[in-house]
């Protein structure tokens, strides 16, 4: 999405150089001006009677110069508060220097040079003001168009075709170095969804993001983010933005982060406001560095729905994710991603106890093709005995739907998409670069129900081929094609026996 733009650090460097140059110019101008005022004054040929008076005048001048230099030294030391470091030795040496034995003509020439330098300094300060004003605001965005064709009902017949369009414009405001405001306007639509070319209702336009962020609260490693925002954590299996969808997720939330490299977030989000029967999400998520290249992320999520009857919900999801990688001397990388979670609580009149387990190992090669292989398994518990008062099927909450479990999106929302049977996905993915701008990949899946809720556990196999082409630095083209061969369980569930197909083409342009 939005790309980082060089801002405040470059401005701080320019400000440091400007302050140093300004101090140098002020010092030299003062010393040379005093010298000119003394050397440029017409003085008759000194007589013996005036020698004592001239020596006294010279002594007074030098005392005045020394006094001003002492003041300058004190001011240079005060620069520490501005520059964040001790004044440079060259500045202190300048403050301790002298005018030497320069003549009035030499001093006048030097003064002309200094005047030119002052003019350049003024121009630099003007540029600095413009740069600082520009850095306070940053506007970025993207527009994405995707054509989807799919025949996913496992029965021969007409396919579904739709064209999706989404445009985002993000404005970032930086009124202070420790304060940030993000506003993102989003227009998401299906082609032809308007009533006609004159329809200006704007129903598809929304504020996807609108939040303020305060950093270094009370001078501590504490960050507060308040407003409409995305909640993205861990491997995004439970909390992700869902960016593949045309309307990604955002929450009215407050997030408080403590720490930097090791951190813990506490957040609360309002999912549905209905007076005294709200639906809320609370959570604590952390990121801990165990060793170089190895991390852990314990978390706890609490869902609360105060409605009565079947909609009543108080569910806790707690787990930990471990990730890491190591790279050998030859550049071959081996990594792992492990995650486990438990769910407990109450859902309507049922007691909840469910689990999830994920394991992935990967290899990344050092050659120019950047080959990568990933082998993994995803396990989500199911409920094999309906109506016993227990809910044992795992709910994948607000995770990314398209990233995992196949690009055909047949198993997006668990446990509904498997009829409470849970899911096991054994997967193998391979990717490589065909050129500097083209990357290709093949993803294979074997899906099986954990609990038999449809008459057979075998759901089928899926193969996904993907191609990404970086047309230029701001434009990307994506193509994907998928096939799903149904097993007996999917045939019983869907009522069809034919393979399912899906293909899509997507163009993304950033600005």
**Cα angle: 234, vertex 239, 243; to 5 degrees:** 105
User: Residue 189 — very low, low, confident or very high, per pLDDT cuts 50/70/90?
Assistant: very high
Q: Which pTM value belongs to this model?
A: 0.73
Judge whether 231 and 253 are in contact, CB under 8 Å: yes
Q: How far apart are CA 88 and CA 23, in angstroms?
A: 11
pLDDT tens for each residue of 368-390: 999 999 999 999 999 999 889 99
| pLDDT confidence of residue 194 | 75
User: Residue 309 — very low, low, confident or very high, per pLDDT cuts 50/70/90?
Assistant: confident
Those residues whose C-beta lies under 8 Å from the C-beta of residue 320, and which sit 6 or more positions away, are 296, 297, 298, 299, 339, 340, 341
pLDDT tens for each residue of 98-115: 445 555 565 556 556 656
Asked whether residue 509 carries a pLDDT value surpassing 50, the answer given is yes
52-56, 231-235, 319-323: least confident range? 52-56
Mean pLDDT calculated for residue range 68-75 = 58
Q: Chain centroid to CA 102: how far? A: 59
What are the residue boundaries of the structural domains of the chain, listed by start? 8-133, 136-510
- Helix, strand, coil percentages, rounded to 5, for the chain: 25, 45, 35
What CA–CA distances, in Å, run from 88 to 8, 73, 98, 155? 22, 11, 18, 78
Judge whether 476 and 466 are in contact, CB under 8 Å: no
| pLDDT confidence of residue 48 | 47
pLDDT tens for each residue of 433-455: 999 999 999 999 999 999 999 99
Q: How far apart are CA 356 and CA 378, in angstroms?
A: 8
Q: Give the DSSP H or E segment for 163.
A: strand 160-176
Mean pLDDT of the chain: 84
Peptide bond into 415 cis (omega under 30): yes
Give me the count of residues in the chain: 511
Asked whether residue 143 carries a pLDDT value surpassing 60, the answer given is yes
pLDDT tens for each residue of 209-266: 999 999 999 999 999 999 999 999 999 999 999 999 999 999 999 999 999 999 999 9
Domain 136-510 = CATH 1.20.950.20? no
* Greatest C-alpha distance within the chain: 125
Backbone phi, then psi, for 48, in 5-degree steps?
-60, -30
């Amino acid at each position: 999405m939005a790309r980082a733009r060089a801002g405040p650090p470059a401005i701080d460097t320019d400000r440091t150089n400007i302050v140093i140059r300004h101090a140098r110019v002020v010092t030299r101008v003062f010393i040379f001006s005093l010298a000119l005022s003394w050397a440029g004054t017409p003085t008759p040929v000194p007589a013996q009677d005036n020698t004592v008076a001239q020596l006294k005048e010279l002594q007074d001048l030098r005392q005045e110069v020394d006094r001003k230099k002492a003041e300058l030294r004190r001011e240079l030391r005060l620069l520490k508060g501005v520059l964040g470091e001790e004044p440079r030795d060259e500045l202190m040496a300048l403050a301790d220097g002298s005018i030497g034995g320069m003549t009035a003509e030499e001093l006048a020439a030097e003064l002309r040079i200094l005047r030119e330098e002052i003019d350049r300094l003024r121009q630099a300060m003007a540029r600095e003001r413009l740069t600082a004003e520009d850095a306070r605001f940053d506007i970025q965005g993207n527009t994405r168009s995707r054509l989807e064709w799919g025949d996913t009902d496992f029965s021969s017949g007409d396919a579904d075709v739709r064209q999706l369009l989404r445009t985002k414009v993000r404005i970032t405001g930086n009124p202070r170095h420790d304060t940030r405001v993000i506003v993102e306007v989003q227009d998401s639509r299906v082609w032809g969804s308007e009533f006609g070319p004159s329809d200006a209702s704007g129903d598809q336009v929304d504020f996807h993001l609108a939040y303020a962020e305060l950093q270094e609260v009370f001078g501590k490693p504490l960050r507060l983010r308040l407003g409409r925002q995305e909640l993205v954590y861990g491997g995004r299996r439970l909390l992700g933005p869902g960016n593949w969808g045309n309307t990604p997720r955002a929450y009215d939330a407050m997030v408080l982060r403590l720490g930097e490299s090791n951190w813990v977030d506490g957040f609360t989000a309002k999912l549905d406001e209905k007076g005294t029967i709200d639906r809320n999400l609370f959570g604590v998520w952390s990121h801990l560095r165990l060793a170089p290249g190895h991390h852990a992320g314990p978390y706890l999520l609490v869902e609360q729905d105060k409605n009565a009857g079947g909609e009543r919900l108080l569910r806790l999801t707690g787990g930990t994710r471990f990730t890491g990688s190591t790279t050998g001397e030859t550049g071959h990388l081996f990594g792992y991603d492990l995650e486990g979670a438990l769910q407990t609580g109450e859902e309507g009149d049922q007691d909840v106890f469910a689990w999830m387990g994920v394991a992935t190992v990967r290899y990344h090669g050092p050659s120019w093709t950047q080959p990568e292989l990933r082998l993994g398994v995803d396990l989500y518990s199911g409920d094999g005995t309906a109506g016993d008062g227990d809910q044992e099927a795992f709910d994948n909450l607000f995770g990314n739907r398209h990233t995992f479990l196949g690009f055909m999106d047949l198993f997006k929302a668990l446990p509904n998409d498997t009829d409470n049977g849970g899911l096991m996905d054994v997967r193998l993915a391979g990717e490589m670069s065909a050129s500097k701008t083209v990357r290709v990949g093949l993803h294979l899946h074997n899906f099986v129900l954990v609990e038999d809720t449809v008459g057979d556990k075998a759901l089928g196999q899926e193969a996904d081929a993907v191609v990404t082409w970086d047309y230029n630095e701001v434009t990307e083209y994506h193509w994907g094609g998928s096939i799903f061969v149904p097993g007996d369980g999917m045939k019983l569930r869907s009522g069809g026996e034919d393979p399912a197909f899906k293909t899509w083409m997507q163009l993304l342009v950033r600005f």
